[in-house]
Amino acid sequence: MKHSYWLLLGGIVCGGVLLLAQDDQVEMGTVKGSRVNVRARPLGTAEICCQMNKGDSVEILEHRLVQTLGTNTEEWVRIVLPEKATVWVQSSFVDQDGKVTSKLNGRAGPGLVWPVLCSFAKGDHVSTRTNELDWVGVVPPRTASAWISGHFVTGQVVEIHTAPVAKPE
């Protein structure tokens, strides 16, 4: 994924307002198989976070070649974790209103042995889906990521152009 963050539009200053725009390239993918596992790590035996179906869209963050048995390599693709997945956090760090009370990790399952998929800062808000003992399953934030086998996803770079934004000088 490539980003060209705030680009100055011709260096124009109009009436004390500086015009800026964000121009991003995002790689989007389409899932090619049915019931494709999204995993916590780029490994065929890693923890399953959720499943995707043929035609589902994913935002691709990274491509990685991983060595398997012998000299074989397999492509894995890191994606933004789909909203249908669940991220687990310790319930003692989330108040009744869903506000995070201390920095904490979002994990692939309800326990400290599960891999970390994202982090939450103090003050972040989480939407609770389920409870299990001392853990809360929440909707994943956009910062959560997981892996899908490259065999099951096609990718295409997409240009995203946002409208100019006025920013006071």
Percent of the chain with pLDDT over 90: 66
Query: Per the confidence metrics, is the pTM higher than 0.95?
Result: no
When the pLDDT of each residue in the chain is averaged and rounded to a whole number, the result is 83
Q: What is the pLDDT of residues 12-39, one digit of tens each?
A: 333 333 333 345 688 999 999 999 999 9
Q: Report pLDDT for 137.
A: 97
Q: If you average pLDDT over residues 120-140, what whole number do you get?
A: 94
Q: Report pLDDT for 105.
A: 97
Residue 7: pLDDT band with limits 50, 70, 90: very low
Report which of residues 136 and 160 the model is more confident about: 136
One-letter-per-residue 3-state SS of the chain? CEEEEEEEEEEEEECCEEEEEEEEEEEEEEECCCCEEEECCCCCCCCEEEEECCCCEEEEEEEEEEECCCCCEEEEEEEECCCCCCEEEEHHHECCCCEECCCEEEECCCCCCCCEEEEECCCCECCEEEEECCEEEECCCCCCEEEEEHHHEEEEEEEEECCCEEEEC
Q: Report pLDDT for 133.
A: 86
Percent of the chain with pLDDT over 70: 78
Q: Report pLDDT for 148.
A: 96
HSE of 135 in the Cβ direction (CA atoms, 13 Å)? 17
Q: Report pLDDT for 2.
A: 41
Report which of residues 160 and 93 the model is more confident about: 93
- Per the CB < 8 A criterion, the answer to whether 145 and 78 are in contact is yes
Q: What is the pLDDT of residues 48-101, one digit of tens each?
A: 999 999 999 999 999 998 887 777 888 999 999 999 999 999 999 999 999 999
